[in-house]
């Protein structure tokens, strides 16, 4: 029980900026009202938009609230607050925890090795997150190997090597400007011969060259299929939560040329824009697997939508 309580307290701290900058304002707005009428909806709408939840998702929420106020004649501020909380919870239903089992279960019960291709633009914390994932899988008892297929930047290879050493996980690398698909090929060959459980393949994040990136990712996938026909089993997109609406644009661009299986949101602890989780889940129906909550190698938290919503709506 102490561990669960400590974990909950940690999440509350990590979401403090998001909660105080937006959700506490929602609470204050609602509870300061003596009675509820349709005028309050404009104020709630502005707060939702300011939290980077996104226009489409905000409209859905406001429409639902408007129907409730009109049809049910809401007078209680507490009822309205609870309805808003449940409405946001509903965006996650059937997407996150019910998305064809958890990642750990897929790895445990699926064919070995389980291949995860990591994508994302430069600067979102992709390299750090790969190190954290490798460390997490190792703690879970899964033998893991990393492939440094972002050969466009020497720094990417060097940083990945540092993180692989921290995690105590082997790294397959070549040289700057080497063929990324060749690195992936070598990594899968090694993983298969050594009976590894998990393969993490890093990729370049040059989104400004979308055609080149699309061709590169396609080539990596084709080459990996020569070793493991079903690979990649998962394509995981890394997003920086602090970029707000820009994160939406990144999802749109990546899903236009690759099938994203899941998302990791980084830097959630340092931003007031945690509401972006709600909009991304609603608009794209892609499960969020983990949250990056710090710079340490153990700072990767499995995403739980109920825990997340309860935390951001936490009352003092």
pTM, full prediction: 0.89
The answer to whether the CB of 83 falls within 8 A of the CB of 68 is: yes
Q: Which of 90, 113, 132 is the last residue of a domain?
A: 90
pLDDT over 90, % of the chain: 46
- In the Cβ-directed half-sphere of 155, how many Cα atoms lie within 13 Å? 5
Kindly report the CATH number assigned to the domain that includes residue 35.
Answer: 1.20.120.140
pLDDT at 3: 34
Torsion of CA 260, 189, 290, 287, to 10 degrees: 30
The two structure tokens encoding residue 117: 């291709």
Residues 30-41: pLDDT tens digits?
A: 777 666 677 788
Q: Which residue has the tokens 């690759």?
A: 258
Distances (CA, A) of 242 to 17, 80, 96, 99: 11, 29, 21, 25
State whether 142 and 77 are in the same domain: no
pLDDT of residue 44: 85
pLDDT at 71 over 60: yes
| Residue 265, strand partner residues | 239, 291
Rounded distance between C-alpha atoms, residue 146 and residue 138, angstroms = 12
Among 201, 159, 204, 200, CA closest to 177: 204
- In this model, does residue 100 exceed pLDDT 50? no
Same domain, 137 and 272: yes
Check whether residue 13 and residue 119 sit in a common domain. Answer: no
Question: In terms of domains, do 121 and 225 share one?
Answer: yes
The token pair at 218 is 């396609």
Question: Is 127 found in the same domain as 175?
Answer: yes
Residues of the domain holding 34: 2-90
* Whole-number average pLDDT of the chain: 85
Distance CA 50, CA 46 (A): 6
Interatomic CA distance for residues 173 and 186, integer angstroms:
9
Which contacts of 86-92 are long-range, i.e. CB under 8 A and separated by 24 or more positions?
87/61, 88/61, 88/278, 88/309, 89/305, 89/306, 89/309, 91/57, 91/278, 91/281, 91/282, 92/281, 92/305, 92/306, 92/308, 92/309
**151 and 273 share a domain?**
yes
> 251, 280 in Cβ contact below 8 A?
yes
Specify whether 51 is located in the same domain as 194: no
Q: How far is CA 175 from CA 144, 151, 178, 315, in A?
A: 22, 7, 5, 53
Q: Are 51 and 109 in a shared domain?
A: no
Q: How far apart are CA 309 and CA 291, in angstroms?
A: 14
Residue 96 lies in a domain: no
d(CA 108, CA 112): 9
How far apart, in whole angstroms, are the C-alpha atoms of residue 40 and residue 201? Answer: 48
The confidence score (pLDDT) of residue 228 equals 95
Q: Which of 26, 58, 90 is the last residue of a domain?
A: 90
CA dist., res. 186 & res. 181, Å (int): 9
Query: 11-25, 43-57, 125-139, 207-221: which has the highest mean pLDDT?
Result: 125-139
Domain count for the chain: 2
Rounded (5°) CA angle 283-288-292: 125
Is residue 51 domain-shared with residue 139, that is, in the same domain? no
Phi, psi dihedrals of residue 100, rounded to the nearest 5°: 55, 50
Mean pLDDT, residues 115-142: 95
Query: Does residue 293 sit in helix, strand or coil?
Result: coil
Stated length of the chain? 316
Same domain, 266 and 132: yes
């Amino acid at each position: 029980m102490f561990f669960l309580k400590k974990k909950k307290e940690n999440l509350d701290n990590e979401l403090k900026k998001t909660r105080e900058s937006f959700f506490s304002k929602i609470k204050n707005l609602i509870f300061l009202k003596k009675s509820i009428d349709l005028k309050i909806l404009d104020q709630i709408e502005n707060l939702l938009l300011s939290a980077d939840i996104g226009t489409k998702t905000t409209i859905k929420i406001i429409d639902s609230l408007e129907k409730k106020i009109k049809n049910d004649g809401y007078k209680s501020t507490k009822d309205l607050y609870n309805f808003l909380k449940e409405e946001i919870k509903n965006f996650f239903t059937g997407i996150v925890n019910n998305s064809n089992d958890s990642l750990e279960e897929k790895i445990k019960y699926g064919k070995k090795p389980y291949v995860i291709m990591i994508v994302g633009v430069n600067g979102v914390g992709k390299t750090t997150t790969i190190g954290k994932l490798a460390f997490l899988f190792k703690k879970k008892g899964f033998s893991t190997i990393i492939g440094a297929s972002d050969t466009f930047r020497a720094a990417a290879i060097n940083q990945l090597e540092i993180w692989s050493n921290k995690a105590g996980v082997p790294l397959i690398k070549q040289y700057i400007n080497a063929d990324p698909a060749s690195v992936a090929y070598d990594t899968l060959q090694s993983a298969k011969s050594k009976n590894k459980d998990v393969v993490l393949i890093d990729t370049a994040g040059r989104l400004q060259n979308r055609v080149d990136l699309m061709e590169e990712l396609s080539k990596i996938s084709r080459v990996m299929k020569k070793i493991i026909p079903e690979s990649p089993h998962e394509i995981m997109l890394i997003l920086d939560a602090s970029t707000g609406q820009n994160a939406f644009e990144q999802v749109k661009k990546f899903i236009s040329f690759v099938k994203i299986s899941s998302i990791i949101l980084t830097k959630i602890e340092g931003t007031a824009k945690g509401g972006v989780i709600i909009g991304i889940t609603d608009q794209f129906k892609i499960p969020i697997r983990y949250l990056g909550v710090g710079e340490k190698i153990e700072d990767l938290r499995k995403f739980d939508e109920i825990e997340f919503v309860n935390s951001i709506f936490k009352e003092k």
